Chain A
Amino acid sequence: MQSSLKSVIAATGILLFASAAWAQDTVKVGVSEPLTGAFAASGNYVTQGAQLAADAINKSGGVLGKKLELIVEDNKSNPTEAVDTAERLIVKDKVPVLMGAWSSTLTLAVMPKLEEYKVPLLVETSSSGKITTSGNPYIFRISPTSEMEATAFAPLAKSLGIKKANFLVTNNDFGKGSMQEFTKMLKGQGVDIGAQETMEPDATDLSAQLAKIKAAGGDTLFVTTDVAQLTLILKQAKDQQITMRIITTGGSVAPDQLIDQAGDAANGSYHLVFFTPWFPDAVKNPDVAQNFTAAWKDKKYNVGGLTEGFRGWDGIYTIAAAINGAGKTEPEAIREALWKVKVKGVNGDISFIKQGPSGKESGQNVPSVYLVKIEGGKVVKQ
């Protein structure tokens, strides 16, 4: 009995030692994305892009001489789950840095945990202004804020001839934040604002909102949501004979997927995007974009997901650069190093400027924003 107990203890010791040795072999990065639920389409694309980046980095030597290992958790498009995944990644998997959590509401939910455990989060998609202005020094965002998008769009209000604009946005931080910034910008350009409608992120029947918008009149409808709900809006707007110009903000619209799923109804719609795989010459770093697109197509991933997947790629490359810069896998060192990164990303050159109350600033990148249009089932430059 005694000896069998001893051997069990010995075996446990060996296992513990082995797993500790294994842990030393890789550099872990935690990823929390919505792989299921309302934002599943986008979350899966971002995760695929992140995995491609990790593979590419590992092929060229990894980070600090070790392999980069992504630990991906599904936050189920749900803020409670998002907090749970972040805590699990930090406490159980002991990751020194996180990427996530796609939607603004999910990211905002996770933020207090970052301060509690002092672990930095690279934000790849969320656009609500609150994320970088609320004074959380563990936030580094590579995606544009709604305000940046609105500012980039301002000169186009005149050239597109917008006189009266309506809004249909998701009833959350992402949609409402975007509506607020675009309303402010449009008013500054002398544009009238008509109906301002909201919808639940998982709502499927939007006919009531669209009937109201149609009655409000105007020439343009700004829509802020993800690609699945946008598909429904385009189809239902066509059913109700809404002839307004539809412009989507937030960059989460995957025009190719729209053409595929909404068909005719997608024609004539405009989209603000942060990567234009259709015009490789128009991007800032063509070679990086080429590498990413080639890797994506190699895996036979859905081409419609490129405009979303690039965020994962850029995010992981930025994190890898910070880990290399830090020279060690400690959260605080990585946070310091993130302030100094200069990464050539698919979207453009990535580096962080300070935003938010002084002493507790968050990092914010200044990304490129493009407007494209769908015409005759094809994406065209605008």
Chain B
Amino acid sequence: MDLWKPQPVGRLPRFRQSLSRKSCVLDQLLQHCLNALVLGGTYALLGIGLTLIFGIMRVVNFTHGELYSFGAYMMFMFVMLLHLDFFLSLVLAMLLGIALGAAIEFLLLRKLRGADIDTTMLVMIGAWIAMQNLEQLVWSGVAKSIKTPFPSSPLVMGALSVSWNRLFVLAVALGLILCTYALVNRTRLGRAMRATFQDPDTAALMGVDIGTIYMSTFALGSGLAAAAGALLGPIFVVTPTMGDLASLKAFAIVILGGLGNIVGATIGGFILAFIEELGAGYISSGYRDAMGFLLIIAILLVRPTGLFSRKERIG
């Protein structure tokens, strides 16, 4: 874990420098940590959706990033074109994400069940490209921005500051992560999901409707991706290719946290955010995106199944 701690080489205040310089360095560190915390929440949200789908269905879901941009575009449509309430739009965008996920499962994946992982992967890559191009056709390539009801001046705490919108995103993201965790670990549906994850054939023999489990898993994962897009769209700008980097990072988080592990993906999301933020702040901002992936390579060399992977039953 020492790898992602800040490397303050050459940046520590010298003895002769005044106290104010010292507090300035501390402020910067705290601001970086605050930024990373907010970013980590959304990374975790993206990661758990993907890890659920892979863990239970063994599907490498390349459309995850497209569900993310779909959520953002729905948000744009509801808020900016139909002038609906911001918070209502958020709920609608997530529900539509769930519906789209269910449709993808029904139209594409259902027929491929039992096909090998490469075939499914190719179909998902095709779906990803088709969805991205369709978005380009419908919305054009020009970036869109979404207005929010949050005050434009940030929340200020001494030298630190963070926008209200980002705090809201963090809160909702954490809420959704907790809900997902509770759903998987505390409900009947969740138990059926976990049973399917352990052994689909036995679960089916015990009366679990595997078809329903697969569809609800894919719909849930897609809904979470759409929610992440709908939450982040108003903070950033909305473009058809916004999902590419997001899905790349989601894959990284899932690998980091261990495939199929919700807690692992959550922690993985925060770790990635902290590495990026502190790496950009103290080492080199140009290599911001590379830094997270370098660490993932390092971790995989030591623990090839990810940081938090648990034992899987085989056969």
Asked if B152 contacts A37 (CB within 8 A), the reply is no
A98 within 8 A of B: no
Query: Contacts of B152 on A, CB cut-off 8 Å?
Result: 238, 263-265
Answer yes or no: A191 CB below 8 A from chain B CBs. no
B309 proximal to A (CB < 8 A) = no
Closest 6 pairs between A and B when the two form their complex, measured CB to CB: A40-B141, A208-B280, A36-B141, A215-B28, A207-B35, A239-B163
Q: Does B315 sit within 8 A of A, measured CB to CB?
A: no
Interface of B is mostly: helix
- Using a CB-CB cutoff of 8 Å, which residues 24-63 of chain A contact chain B? 35-38, 40-41, 43-44
Choice from B145, B161, B245 contacting A202 with Cβ under 8 Å: B245
Segment among A109-117, A193-201, A270-278 that sits at the interface with chain B = A193-201
Taking a contact as CB atoms closer than 8 A, the residue among A43, A199, A204, A232 that contacts B285 in the complex is A199
Most chain A CB inside 10 Å of its own CB: which residue of B27, B39, B152? B152
In the complex, how many angstroms separate the beta carbon of A353 from the nearest chain B beta carbon? 34
Taken together as a complex, chains A and B put the C-alpha atoms of A201 and B136 apart, in Å, by 19
B168 sits at the interface (CB 8 A): no
* Distance in angstroms between the alpha carbons of A250 and B251 in the assembled complex: 35
Please count how many residues in chain B sit with their CB below 8 Å of the partner chain's CB atoms.
42
Bound-state Cα–Cα, A171 to B285, Å: 9
Q: Once the chains are docked, how many angstroms separate the CA of A41 from the CA of B288?
A: 25
Max chain B C-beta neighbours (<10 A), residue from A215, A232, A265: A215
User: B111-119, B212-220, B235-243: which lies at the A interface?
Assistant: B235-243
Q: Which of A35, A38, A171, A215 makes the CB contact (< 8 A) with B24?
A: A215
Q: Is the CB of B163 within 8 A of A171?
A: no
- Nearest-Cβ distance from residue A21 to partner chain B, whole angstroms: 33
B212 to nearest A CB, angstroms? Answer: 37
Chain B 222-265 residues near chain A, CB threshold 8 A: 232, 235-237, 239-242, 245
Least distance between B292 CB and chain A CB atoms (Å): 12
Chain A nearest CB, measured from B279 CB (Å)? 8
Contact B24 A208 (CB under 8 A): no
B28 x A211 contact (CB < 8 A): yes
Q: Is B237 in contact with A231, judged by CB distance below 8 angstroms?
A: yes
Say if the beta carbon of A228 comes within 8 Å of chain B: yes
- Interface check A209, CB cutoff 8 A: yes
Contact B35–A211 (Cβ < 8 Å): yes
Scan A247-282; emit 1 where CB is below 8 A from any B CB, else 0.
000000000000011011100000000000000000
Please, which residues of chain A bring their CB within 8 A of the CB of B31?
A: 207, 211, 214, 240
* Pairs across A and B, CB under 8 Å, 6 listed: A38-B239, A204-B245, A207-B35, A228-B143, A239-B166, A265-B152
A91 at interface, CB cutoff 8 A:
no
How far, in angstroms, from A205 to B156 measured CA to CA in the complex?
A: 19
Chain B, residues 147-169, CB within 8 Å of chain A (1/0): the string is 10000111010000111001000
Contact pattern, B 20-63, Cβ under 8 Å of A = 1, otherwise 0: 00001101100110010001000000000000000000000000
Q: Does A297 contact B (CB under 8 A)?
A: no
Please indicate the chain B residues that have their CB under 8 angstroms from the CB of A264 in the complex.
152
Instruction: Flag whether B66 is at the interface (Cβ < 8 A).
Output: no
> For the complex, what is the distance from the CA of A211 to the CA of B276, rounded to whole Å?
13
Chain B nearest CB from A202 CB (Å) reads 6
Q: Does A241 contact B (CB under 8 A)?
A: yes
Rounded to whole Å, the gap between the CB of B92 and the closest CB of chain A is 23
| Chain B contacts for A198, CB-based, 8 A | 285-286
A203 beta carbon closer than 8 Å to chain B? yes
If the complex has contacts A40-B143, A232-B237, A263-B152, are A204 and B161 also in contact, measured as CB distance less than 8 A?
A: no
CA distance A35 to B143 in the complex (A): 11
With contacts A208-B276, A228-B237, A238-B152 taken as known, whether A200 is within 8 angstroms of B289 at the C-beta atoms is yes
Shortest A171–chain B CB gap in Å is: 5
List chain B residues, Cβ under 8 A from A212. 28, 280-281, 285
Interfacial chain B residues near A203, Cβ < 8 Å = 288-289
Contact of A204 among B166, B237, B281 (CB under 8 A): B237
Contact of A44 among B142, B276, B281 (CB under 8 A): B142
For B25, list chain A residues within 8 Å (CB). Answer: 215
A280 to chain B, nearest CB (A): 26
> Would B241 and A171 count as touching, CB distance under 8 A?
no
Closest to B32 in A: A211
